[in-house]
Amino acid sequence: MFAEERQEQILELLKRNKRVSNTELIKKFGVSGTTIRIDLTELEQKGLLSRTHGGAILKEDPVSSRREKNKEAKECIARKAREQIEDGDTILLDSGTTALDLAALLNELHNLTVITNDLQIALKLQKCPEIHLILLGGRVRTSFECTVGGMGIRALEELSVDKVFMTTNALSLQKGATTPNLDNAEIKRAMMKIGNQRYLLCDSSKIGTKTVCSFAKIEEFDVLITDNKISQEMKEKIEKLHIEVL
């Protein structure tokens, strides 16, 4: 089991029980106390829990925590992405806080079809009369409020869209777009296959970093939408791969 998957399960336990002990986690995952302490420290650094003597307690909603990180940059990226969408389009929105910001800007469009695996995006769009919403099924990643797994991947095989708007945990020239979670990487790969145009929504803090699972080479994207803190050197390197940088 990858560390990120174990940490996700720790968050799910916390969401149900509000607190966990080191002893409980060591027994559940069959790992050392050192490994559990590292997991809890990393989750605390992300603002998702608070360490206590011998365990941890739930701090706040993980989605809200991620939403606050680089909030202004993500909102700017969402506004630029909105400019790429027209009435009558069929689009796919990947899960993530920047995609959620984009979803909030779609209510004035007409005859728009939106496919997503993000539960928060679906809740935001489901009452918009001019938006035809398709929510992908599958196993719910409860701490991240999205679906993954074979059910959604098989549904994607039957679909095609004008534009795919993807998010990522990290982006590098060597590894492309990456995510820490294997299940998430698999459904993202399936999403990439169905779009005529592929947009990547990625704030500059993630550029030049990488995580465990690659879901797309950087050359597979048509457009990178980022904030103005991207270095000129990196921008030029990406543009040399025939990717438009907005």
**pLDDT tens, residue by residue, 103-116:** 999 999 999 999 99
**Least confident interval from 45-54, 142-151, 180-189, 226-235:** 45-54
Q: Which amino acid is at 10?
A: I
Encode pLDDT of 37-72 as tens digits. Answer: 999 988 887 778 888 889 998 875 555 555 556 788
Q: What is the pLDDT of residue 148?
A: 95
Give the residue-averaged pLDDT of 158-172: 96
Report residue 167 as tokens: 């998010």
Give which of 217, 191, 154, 169 is closest to 2, Cα–Cα. 169
Which of 2, 27, 230, 232 shows the shortest CA–CA distance to 13?
Answer: 27
Alpha-carbon distance 38 to 111, whole Å?
48
**What one-character-per-residue DSSP string does 82-124 give?**
HTT--TT-EEEE-SSHHHHHHHTT-TT-SSEEEEE-BHHHHHH
Comparing 17-21, 22-26, 98-102, which segment has the lowest mean pLDDT?
17-21
Classify the phi-psi angles of 53: left when phi > 0, otherwise alpha if psi is within -120 to 50, otherwise beta: beta
**Residues 114, 93: contact at Cβ < 8 Å?**
yes
**CA neighbor of 95 nearest in space, from 140, 32, 65, 45:** 140
Q: Over range 79-99, report the average pLDDT.
A: 97
